[in-house]
Amino acid sequence: MITGTAGTDDYVETVLTVTIPAGATQGVVNLTIVDDNIDEATESLTAVGTATNATTSSPATVTILDDATDVPAITLGDVTVTEGTDPTAVIPVTLSNPSDEVVVVTVTLAAGTAGTDDYVETVLTVTIPAGATQGVVNLTIVDDNIDEATESLTAVGTATNATTSSPATVTILDDATDVPAITLGDVTVTEGTDPTAVIPVTLSNPSDEVVVVTVTLAAGTAGTDDYVETVLTVTIPAGATQGVVNLTIVDDNIDEATESLTAVGTATNATTSSPATVTILDDATDVPAITLGDVTVTEGTDPTAVIPVTLSNPSDEVVVVTVTLAAGTAGTDDYVETVLTVTIPAGATQGVVNLTIVDDNIDEATESLTAVGTATNATTSSPATVTILDDATDVPAITLGDVTVTEGTDPTAVIPVTLSNPSDEPVVVTVTLAAGTAGTDDYVETVLTVTIPAGELKV
């Protein structure tokens, strides 16, 4: 045998002989062909016959066609990688059996739930040398900062001298650090000016699915009467990172200090936020105005003047009102001059102060004084008037004294005029005479008057 493209691994190399009987012209030799699983091109070898008593033959060709079942089948292995940990997906490429020539496998990718932004789309090829059955292709995985579900794509291997593979699956697990963190922004609003507190909701990085953030409120110095307590949610679309929730602020008429509450954002597919602070500044018009009521009392009947003290609206802290007095026609001898204060509790609007009225026995006209209320956390009142009516029993009674005179000795009769109690104004007493046994020829008939000064009982 003379080997051609078929080698000695393609047939059993041995001495082949045939005996052609005398007188005959035909015979055969049997060459054993090796049935391997190697994919091969058509091969051949030559055979030459020799004998001691015959001339040598020309070469004959033995052609070996390959077994059609020896065409290798390509198999791609499934592979799972983690984004951020595995920069490449190493996809195994296997031939079912070797070939006697190189097999260039082209791997074609098809996006599934993983898109072309999850891997580098390129032509992947691997050259498997003749006689070998193994190789790999390296698919570059994109490490983004998007929170994603587990995704996958498929890969199919083809070659001109091998059968196409079934699709293999490349599974991409997401980077655990891509789970977005929720941040809520602090916000300050003014009651009465801002009907809502617009709380910013931010994700540290986008997600490939919607993120529904629930914002839970916790009362601080601001209570549930300062805002509308409700479930606040915002849906942040896939790929976005921003949203807001609107918290309704209650505009009451209560004077309040600056108050605050906290808000925390949670979601099933994002990490919980740290607490954010919502600060509520009070409406400047909520500072209560003090009003003092006018009051009229009667000396001798009313020992005190009860002066009403009213706030225009409540405060969430106590309001201590100091009432300052200013003498008018009523002087400090008509009332007890002292510091008057009233403490109005938080949430209340009413109180009184009691001004002690002096009950003297002086006949006086109607008198008055004014009162003004002040506080550190309320606006000062306008002056209120306290009117003091005099005791009706203070009108003085006139007493004339009896007198005896001697005609010729006493040129005048000095009649004493006395008031039972003083008056705060002069009292002009007119003395009217009535004849008795003494007639008008015994005295000079005239109008007699005496003025008793204010505060005096007699002249």
CATH of the domain at 383: 2.60.40.2030
Q: What is the pLDDT at residue 172?
A: 96
Residues 128 and 219 in one domain: no
At which of 257, 285, 313 does a domain end?
A: 285
CA gap 455, 269 in Å, rounded: 93
User: 3: pLDDT confidence band, cut at 50, 70 and 90?
Assistant: low
Residues 332 and 422 in one domain: no
312 near 288, Cβ under 8 Å? Answer: yes
Q: Average pLDDT of 90-110?
A: 95
Q: What is the pLDDT at residue 138?
A: 98
Residues 39 and 57 in one domain: yes
Residues 151 and 186 in one domain: no
CA gap 92, 107 in Å, rounded: 11
Q: Which of 303, 292, 302, 304 is nearest to 354 (CA)?
A: 304
The torsion region of residue 313 among left (phi > 0), alpha (psi -120 to 50) and beta comes to beta
Q: Which of 152, 151, 141, 167 is nearest to 77 (CA)?
A: 167
Residues 167 and 189 in one domain: no
Q: What is the pLDDT at residue 66?
A: 64
- Per-residue pLDDT at 34 exceeds 80: no
Q: What percent of the chain stands above pLDDT 90?
A: 66
At which of 347, 363, 393 does a domain end?
A: 393
Alpha carbons within 13 angstroms on the beta-carbon side of residue 404 total 0
Say if pTM beats, i.e. exceeds, 0.75: no
At which of 154, 177, 200 does a domain end?
A: 177
Long-range contacts of 304-308 (CB under 8 A, 24+ apart): 304/354, 304/355, 304/356, 304/357, 305/335, 305/354, 305/355, 305/357, 305/386, 305/388, 306/352, 306/353, 306/354, 307/340, 307/352, 307/353, 307/354, 307/355, 307/371, 307/384, 307/386, 308/350, 308/351, 308/352
Residues 343 and 401 in one domain: no
Residues 170 and 187 in one domain: no
Q: What is the pLDDT at residue 185?
A: 98
Structure tokens that stand for 265 in this block: 């954002």
Residues 262 and 329 in one domain: no
Q: What is the pLDDT at residue 259?
A: 96
Number of domains present in the structure of the chain: 5
Residues 196 and 238 in one domain: yes
Structure tokens that stand for 408 in this block: 């010729």
Q: What is the pLDDT at residue 364?
A: 84
Q: What is the largest CA-CA distance in the chain?
A: 226
User: 393: pLDDT confidence band, cut at 50, 70 and 90?
Assistant: confident
The DSSP-derived string for 247-275 is EEBP--S-B---EEEEEEEEBTTBBPPPP
Residues 86 and 1 in one domain: no
Residues 421 and 451 in one domain: yes
Residues 223 and 318 in one domain: no
Domain span including residue 363 = 290-393
Average pLDDT, the chain: 92
Check residue 244 and report its DSSP letter.
E
354 near 414, Cβ under 8 Å? Answer: no
